[in-house]
A and B are shown apart, each in its own frame.
Chain A
């Protein structure tokens, strides 16, 4: 447990944005604490293969990329605590970050709490989560060896998950509410070439049924209105992301979607509070852009602390 409560910089979130910021501030010898509630590395650790992070010409697993970033940050003395940020309070010349492990204070705070998987918001979703409903194929996929699974969504995350699941499952059914994918061409071509992957177009999930384990999905074809049910052992939900900013409500200005507004120096409206990565409005939500944001935020946090 971290006994020390006061730092120069506190970073909230341990994904590519937060870890990059931590590498920069620690190398500048700023006493830095990084607060992460789950797995250090962030959402990228769910990606089986990251093919667009420069420097890794043959691709790298998201888990490995996260570990490398963590190791690099640790080398320069970044402190990491496992806790969830629950609030942020502004004092005269310092900021208090409230967490499940107590309060921590710093002069500068970099918010890099990222985004989390969006939910479908249909009956049964919460109840069956962990019993067949999953938000991470690389976490749970191998548990569905030889079974039929569904993926809900049509973006990059959904199609990447479908391709990964095809290694284990006997059949992968992609359920998408439109008649074409949003995923990049490379992924779409791979998915269409994979014999185990089937598509259910113009279809939405209306209900998830199951008690001890997932039983079936109730579906509706949006164009014809026709209802049907689908027996699957697992359903992986990949329908977009939502920002993890609930703990900042009322403290920091956000857009209607809950994303934080910054300038090009990653400064928010409050002096000494910076934001980086997926949490920012209009972020492309890529590991590389998050890392860039983190470095920019760190450099400007250092300038702020010197002034």
Chain B
């Protein structure tokens, strides 16, 4: 079982932008019910995509700087970073199968 890692404003560059593997960042907040519903799905995917994609969570309430940098104005908001650049973005609650399509597209 691989759990998503926690990232914040301070660690974002080191853990996400400089990561060697692609990183999916889940921009979320505790008051967002769809985010809470998406969390267990992302945990399952973190295990399934272990070593291929790193899963990370960033609380937008606590880390306004990073949220503003990527213009997060709707959550759940998943951005996949590859070599420091956002390559894919998924806004809103999506079923697991749809998320997998996006993840597989990034790995191609």
- How far, in angstroms, from A144 to B92 measured CA to CA in the complex? 17
CB contacts (< 8 Å) of A233 on chain B: these are: 73
CB contacts (< 8 Å) of A86 on chain B: these are: none
In the complex, which range does the number of interface residues on chain A fall in?
20 to 34
Asked if A139 is an interface residue, CB under 8 A from chain B, the answer is yes
* Contact call B73/A131, Cβ cutoff below 8 A: yes
* Contact call A143/B93, Cβ cutoff below 8 A: no
CB contacts (< 8 Å) of A214 on chain B: these are: 73
In the assembled complex, the CB of A79 is this many whole angstroms from the nearest CB of chain B, namely 16
* Contact call B73/A142, Cβ cutoff below 8 A: no
CB contacts (< 8 Å) of B5 on chain A: these are: none
Given B73, B91, B95, B97, which contacts A234 in the complex, CB threshold below 8 Å? B73
Asked if A170 is an interface residue, CB under 8 A from chain B, the answer is no
* Contact call A38/B93, Cβ cutoff below 8 A: yes
- How far, in angstroms, from A234 to B67 measured CA to CA in the complex? 15
CB contacts (< 8 Å) of B60 on chain A: these are: 143
Asked if B96 is an interface residue, CB under 8 A from chain A, the answer is yes
Given A39-B37, A142-B29: A82 and B95 interface contact (C-beta under 8 Å): yes
- How far, in angstroms, from A115 to B34 measured CA to CA in the complex? 18
- How far, in angstroms, from A37 to B74 measured CA to CA in the complex? 19
* Contact call B93/A213, Cβ cutoff below 8 A: no
Asked if B61 is an interface residue, CB under 8 A from chain A, the answer is yes
Per-residue interface assignment for chain B, residues 59 to 92, with 1 indicating a CB less than 8 Å from any chain A CB and 0 otherwise: 0110000010001111101000000000000011
